[in-house]
Amino acid sequence: MPVDEPDADSPVESAAPRPAPPILDLTAEITELTEQIIACESVSGNERRLADAVESALLELGGLWVHRDGDTVIARTDTGADQRVVLAGHLDTVPLPSDPETRGAPGFRGTVPPQWMTAEGTPCGTPPAAGRAEDDVLYGRGATDMKGGVAVQLKLAADVAARLRTLTAAQSLARDVTWVFYDHEEVEASKSGLGRVLRTIPDLLAADFAVLLEPTHGAVEGGCNGTCRLRVTMPGVAAHSGRAWMGRNAIHAAAPILAALEAYEPRTVDVDGLAYREGLNAVSISGGIAGNVIPDACIVEINYRFAPDKTEAQAQDHVRQVLRSAGIDDELAEVTDSSPGARPGLDHPAAQAFVTAVGGVPKPKYGWTDVARFSALGVPAVNFGPGDPLLAHTDDEHVTAEALRACYAAMHRWLS
């Protein structure tokens, strides 16, 4: 019998009961805290133990208002500062590698538990008294995307909580801070914990500026491209392949679509001083039911990554224009997914202060991230976090001690 779908605004519960959460030591050095967080496996849908650990660690700090929504944890200061900033990051990761031998390989190839190795590839478990070398490398699922960023968030929460204990009743922080640790980022957008909070309790996320600690190789990445997907269904007429003239081949009918996409010249668009590269591509094609049947349908999935100078409607119309140039009628194309981009917002004073504090030259974000959700709320947001984004979701996902320390130091400098 059919099963009712859960309400999109209801917290998505993890699949099964979990044992006691691990204890996260927020006094530990950033490298060791990152290792502790990676060691708590949190594939999408299985975030509860890590969310429990984060909630417990934040409550233990004292001085912060802490709220739990499903497997999303929110913490806030409220000292009456003139400015409020959000530090956001997701707790979930993509699945572990499915190959049993890969999953069992000690210390690397996207596994849990994690393992430290030297730059030369030698395992180095217990850190020396002087701390880990800058070029030591931490391997494990989430090392890049984005448990290093979560560790930075937690260390900053500990720093701010300590600062709160020194304030008099008449004093305030330079900036009040909201921390968001959310679930279900690595799956369909309808399950996103951040999206759920934005729909149901958006006031908790009101701010002057937001930072998503997604991996950026330590660079400020402003805004993000939008994305839309269209499904084009080309009709045909089925027939025996030995009498092909009696049918109409739907796969052949899709050829003009592929030709138009192959010939398409993607744009590079300047938005507020950053150059965003677009892309329009076929990402899947399917059709046919047997080797002796002329296919009566062919489906082409198209993905358009568009610069944040366009609305979603403009982006969708642009794809339809390309399809029209190939002789494809509008009714054959259906929009299956769409998310807006986000302008950089780097002209905002809060964003300028952030860039000045952390240093470097801002870059565009070519992919889509949750900065778009904050942009839709009217909050300028940037991506800034430790780790190489090109390593995200790979078998050899890793981050260096240097990258973790540099990001934490930059963020600490800004908040201070």
Burial 316-340 (b: 16+ CB within 10 A, else e): bebbbebbeebebeeebbeeeebbb
- E-assigned strands of 307-378? 333-339, 363-364
- How far is Cα 382 from Cα 351, in angstroms, rounded to an integer? 8
DSSP state of 413: H
Q: Which of 52, 55, 92, 145 is catalytic?
A: 92
Place of tokens 């070398």: 133
DSSP state of 284: E
- How far is Cα 368 from Cα 314, in angstroms, rounded to an integer? 17
Distances (CA, A) of 400 to 70, 154, 176, 296, 388: 32, 18, 30, 53, 10
For this structure, is 5 an active site residue?
no
Question: What is residue 309's three-state secondary structure?
Answer: coil
Question: What is residue 17's three-state secondary structure?
Answer: coil
Contact 295, 319 (CB under 8 A): no
Q: Which of 52, 185, 208, 370 is catalytic?
A: 185
Distances (CA, A) of 92 to 59, 146, 185, 207, 270: 21, 8, 7, 24, 33
Place of tokens 């004292």: 62
- How far is Cα 38 from Cα 141, in angstroms, rounded to an integer? 7
Element (DSSP H or E) covering residue 316: helix 312-325
Helix ranges (H only) for 46-120 are: 48-61, 100-104
For this structure, is 334 an active site residue?
no
- How far is Cα 302 from Cα 227, in angstroms, rounded to an integer? 10
Two structure tokens written together for 90:
């997701």
Two structure tokens written together for 34:
């990152």
On the question of a cis peptide bond just before residue 146, with omega within 30 degrees of 0, the verdict is: yes
DSSP state of 112: S
Element (DSSP H or E) covering residue 162: helix 148-164
Element (DSSP H or E) covering residue 239: strand 239-240
- How far is Cα 115 from Cα 13, in angstroms, rounded to an integer? 30
Q: Would you name the residues annotated as active-site residues? A: 92, 185
